[in-house]
Chains A and B, each alone.
Chain A
């Protein structure tokens, strides 16, 4: 489903490669944790999936589509099919919870009726149905991250990319977030997670890809966090 084909990324001339000669495939429904030190190339690798970063060499495929060659219109459609969650939540501060989530649905062209039905539903899934009219600054970090997850999955994307989603959270909130990600994966969505958190990776007990200095150094079906 997702295939990185001998991908190298060099940000500017003379810089060491952020990602070097990575070949990696992810099947539908997998839960893949990508681990490694800061600067190992985890985030760069994932950003290539929604074309925020383009590879210097090699290519990235989503199904039969070659991502770097998509037109801007095709890219919009692709992004609506990939949910993204970041360490810093990236909610829109001037919109309340309902509008933040509705925005992703509106962009995908859903009708007002569908939006009114889907938003409360997805909020229930992340356990925040009572915060629907709150603004991001009125929520805790854990709550903001759960809203960000709700926004990422409300369009029922095929893939959810979670880039250090627990980086700013305390252990309890981090645990809750990972439980939600597992639940989403159980419902059929492919999940790609990057993290530093050994406890979380070990608890998930699924496929672990370890990166070091831009290269994949280990890829285990039922892995642990080993660096």
Chain B
């Protein structure tokens, strides 16, 4: 008998089993939907956490303020030296003119300050370099480098007015440890929740197959091969997964639309709905793939228990 005839029969019985055991299938699909929903929720929460942490990390920087008398050429020397450091991700130069216009912009509603500035006649602000490190923990060593330049009294070192790291040191360090803890905690919670929901789904499928144990016994006795017995249950398991994945993907639309604006208000730049729609292919692959894998593997393991030699 051909392989395809066998496959066709196994598939037909798998679909028939799914439809005819309606109530058991419904229960399995519902439980599996909850599992997949938890997985989707963890993906969204993980992305939200990541985006928030990245935002926070980007807000941290060290700024070197130069004396108003510093020549642009010297400042550029410092900039190049900083860029050569392995810890440094980005160095942005803010010229004296830029600093002044930023200042005016920031205080545009504060007339007394603006008139005081006009009174002064010349630009009192020095140029600066905004330095962004690759990791929050690296700001200390960057600041130490700049400090040593300043202390050693080199040509470039003399032009440095002050480094703001030491004013923000405690805040930067605390923020760094909060970010690290949040990340570890987030991953741990995600792993525990995912594991728990996978186990619940696995158990539900095991119960569904438990109701068919006599059927499996009969198949054994009429001389059905292992894959011939297992096949239809695995097909039904895959169907549980596919149907649950479709339900979850459809439900995620209204749910993310609903919490989208709230998430943006709460988390800053992260909108759950925008993320979901942008990353839909990823969600489709992960949710459908997880459903199919969970259904097939659970069924395989559950049937194995009742298969005899």
Contact = CB atoms under 8 A, between A and B. Distances in A.
Contact of A80 (B9, B21, B217, B222): B222
Interface stretch (A26-34, A89-97, A117-125, A186-194): A89-97
Interface in A77-127: 77-80, 84, 90-95, 99, 103-104, 106-112
A94 B13 CA distance: 10
Contact of A151 (B21, B212, B222, B308): B222
Chain B contact surface mostly:
helix
Given A72-B309, A107-B228, A112-B5, A94 B215 contact: yes
A94 B214 CA distance: 11
Given A80-B223, A84-B221, A93 B215 contact: yes
B279 interface: no
Contacts of A138: none
B225 A76 contact: yes
Contact of B223 (A78, A94, A111, A112): A78
Interface string A17-33: 00000000000000000
Interface string A52-81: 100000000000000000001001111110
A150 to B, nearest CB: 12
Nearest to B8: A112
A4 interface: no
Taking each of B215, B221, B228, which has the highest tally of chain A beta carbons within 10 Å of its own beta carbon?
B221
A79 B219 CA distance: 10
A43 to B, nearest CB: 13
B257 to A, nearest CB: 40
B223 A92 contact: no
Interface residues of A, number: 28
A202 B308 CA distance: 37
Interface string B201-217: 00000000000101101
A90 B218 contact: yes
Contacts of A225: none
A125 to B, nearest CB: 18
Contacts of B309: 51, 72, 75
Interface in B1-45: 1, 5, 9, 13, 16-17, 20-21
Interface of A: 50-52, 72, 75-80, 84, 90-95, 99, 103-104, 106-112, 151
Given A94-B215, A99-B13, 13 more contacts: A52-B221, A75-B309, A78-B223, A80-B222, A90-B214, A90-B218, A104-B223, A106-B9, A107-B219, A107-B223, A107-B224, A107-B225, A111-B1
